[in-house]
Structure 1
């Protein structure tokens, strides 16, 4: 039995108890897990349920709801369908400190930013409970959004259909980049609420680090943290063999700051979705219209370059560097920085050239800040690449380690060291 399935019945009992105690909902309520596969070996970040109330019933307003927690709206009269998200306290790579508040605050900012151009695509939040620490079950009760999963349909679409989706994604990204941040939010990193209900800077929902005073500080802190975890790893052992650690330390001390000095608008702060992919989008198959942008678990406030380092991977939009010369990835990176040629290379590997160019065209039409207009993003991508290489997922995630043989782990450790050395060679360290 997988880790996710161990407390399956206990979670359902919690949901029923929550609906009864908080909202006075009784009767034959339909509770259906969404995107749940008991055989998945990796710990889910959240457990998500679709809730349909019995005909004629409605959640009663509680005293807590009368005041409405920050980021919440009143449940519309007659509403019977909801989504309930339960946090998984054992999720790998999620900080319990403020992950619920982070998501609710990001939803609030995104909803306001998108209301004029893409109204009703961000789910309303009706109620929530903080994780605070591991002893508390965090949850969010939110609006049920109509539509079909985009990722399941996108691959089968022709190029014109994909352009229609990309055009909307570009418009959404433009609106998020222009989201108005409250004066109470002063840093870089995660989001939360203060005692007055104002959105404020907080630790990252992923790393638990921050908040930071600058974009550069956020990367420096994460690099230091990655090396601490690499030191504690029985396989990585801090990269101390073959002189790799000395080279990493030199890069952090001498290579990070000059790369951030090359970045345009280094003091910029925008709302970042953090996982902006077709997997988190719903759409109407009959009209091709996007109907929902979901999952704000990884959202934060950062520089405009950060969205391109973290998101858009399934539409050829993620920006990354390659250690090799003459590879498709290197050619794609050059095109994103300097423009696509009229004659595209033939699609033979991982790069879908027509899709990549179509995305670039739509981003340009929408006026999105993107790699071609963010001076210095290539230098930040180098720092990001070192951060990822310093703590490879396959050597640090407990779930993936349990799935591999000792030989496979050691082989990958050797490959990772060679890749890290090649990256440092390219960067001059």
Structure 2
């Protein structure tokens, strides 16, 4: 039985007509971050309903369930989720959804789900929950590969407008740092630790990377395969890079003080759309969302829409290196041929065209993003997924794990060498 299937029936045993798991695979070998359910009530609500605290006030970030509601979405946090800090993970998601709803309020009908109630994951057992609106539409990723290029452009055009609104939204003055957000005792949204890191908030974008690198190195010290990268002098080079290299990498990021709402998982999998009209009906799943520099969205999102913006690769002749160059400068007039499992060049160019047409901040207009992406590559390389994730470790032989570790050490050494360390 998988980790996710433990207590499966217990999560369904409520006195409600129907509870249906959403995108649940009982054989999935990796831990889900949340267990998501579609809840059908025995009958539509006859009046607006809201949960209020002892003072009679509604929870911050929540609204009353409208009369006539028959179906809802319930998200239960998984206490065993890999790398998710429970302290403010629910609060962060609800607060970010509140901000995103304001930023995207001009889109009608609304595209951000309303929150009806929530419970923190910080308590005993770490079981948090969010009760939210069931949004219409089907996942874009289920249809994307079958769409024509023109239909994909239509999806991109809407995504870019969402991105533009998130980038341009004026954050409340109470959000002073980079990282996560939560609610203070008066219900205001304030800076907090970043859910996926368990550290922060930070006074600057640069500081967020410096601290995350230190957190990663501490975890690397505890990993029995990585052993802190002390072999072959790599740890000393990493220490020097954190102390001297990171500040140097951020010197060319002239917009370093900019902050924006970052979804951090802005992909086709988290977009719903109406198949007949092609209209995007919802942007969902804000589990990894945070407040960060606009460049951070490109480091974490848009897989499938031309791909994430990645740092330097030792194979400068690779398609990914060519794509990185095109995003920073200009796509070639004659696009390279698309091969099986390779870069979808026409799709990548279509995405770039829509970004340019909307005038949003993007790799080509964010001076210094290439330097930040290199820092991010170092960060990700310190704790490579295949050598640090407990689930993937269970599925691999000792030989494969050691091979992955050694390959990553070589790549990390080359990157540090290129960066002068």
SS of corresponding position for 2:406: helix
Structure 1: which 5+ residue stretches go unaligned? 17-25
- Per-residue deviation, 1:323: 2.1
Contact persistence 1:105–1:192 (CA under 8 A) = yes
The yes-or-no answer on 1:67 pairing with 2:73 is no
Q: 4+ residue runs of structure 1 moved beyond 3 angstroms? A: 56-66
TM-score, normalization by structure 1 = 0.94
1:124 to 110, 114, 117: 114
Structure-to-structure mapping, 1:134-283, within 5 angstroms: 134-283=124-273
Instruction: Write the distance in 2 (CA, Å) between the matches of 1:208 and 1:364.
Output: 35
Contact persistence 1:215–1:302 (CA under 8 A) = yes
Contact persistence 2:51–2:59 (CA under 8 A) = no
Instruction: Write the distance in 2 (CA, Å) between the matches of 1:199 and 1:253.
Output: 32
2:408 to 390, 398, 416: 416
SS of corresponding position for 1:79: coil
Residue in 2 that maps onto 1:325: 316
- Per-residue deviation, 1:428: 2.1
2:344 to 334, 352, 368: 352
Instruction: Write the distance in 1 (CA, Å) between the matches of 2:162 and 2:307.
Output: 14
- Per-residue deviation, 1:61: 4.5
Instruction: Write the distance in 2 (CA, Å) between the matches of 1:62 and 1:244.
Output: 54
Instruction: Write the distance in 1 (CA, Å) between the matches of 2:44 and 2:410.
Output: 64
2:35 to 36, 47, 50: 47
- Per-residue deviation, 1:350: 2.2
The yes-or-no answer on 1:393 pairing with 2:385 is yes
Instruction: Write the distance in 1 (CA, Å) between the matches of 2:254 and 2:64.
Output: 42
Contact persistence 1:96–1:134 (CA under 8 A) = no
Contact persistence 1:191–1:300 (CA under 8 A) = yes
SS of corresponding position for 1:67: coil
Cα RMSD (Å):
1.5
Instruction: Write the distance in 1 (CA, Å) between the matches of 2:50 and 2:61.
Output: 17
The yes-or-no answer on 1:33 pairing with 2:21 is yes
Q: For each residue in 1:312-366, what CA deviation from the matched residue of structure 2 results, as whole angstroms up to 9, or x when unmatched?
A: 1121141012222222111111111112122111113521111111001101111
The yes-or-no answer on 1:95 pairing with 2:110 is no
Contact persistence 2:307–2:348 (CA under 8 A) = yes
Instruction: Write the distance in 1 (CA, Å) between the matches of 2:44 and 2:399.
Output: 60
The yes-or-no answer on 1:302 pairing with 2:292 is yes
Q: For each residue in 1:105-153, what CA deviation from the matched residue of structure 2 results, as whole angstroms up to 9, or x when unmatched?
A: 1111111111113541100001001111452421000000110111110
Contact persistence 1:105–1:191 (CA under 8 A) = yes
Q: For each residue in 1:181-217, what CA deviation from the matched residue of structure 2 results, as whole angstroms up to 9, or x when unmatched?
A: 1111111100100000000000001011100000000
SS of corresponding position for 1:313: coil
Aligned length: 417
Instruction: Write the distance in 1 (CA, Å) between the matches of 2:347 and 2:149.
Output: 7
Contact persistence 2:180–2:192 (CA under 8 A) = yes
Segment drifting more, 58-67 vs 81-90: 58-67
Instruction: Write the distance in 2 (CA, Å) between the matches of 1:51 and 1:72.
Output: 18
Contact persistence 2:44–2:69 (CA under 8 A) = no
Contact persistence 1:163–1:358 (CA under 8 A) = yes
TM-score, normalization by structure 2 = 0.96
Contact persistence 1:58–1:80 (CA under 8 A) = no
Change in Cα spacing, 1:10 to 1:32, as seen in structure 2 (3 Å) is same
Instruction: Write the distance in 2 (CA, Å) between the matches of 1:283 and 1:389.
Output: 35
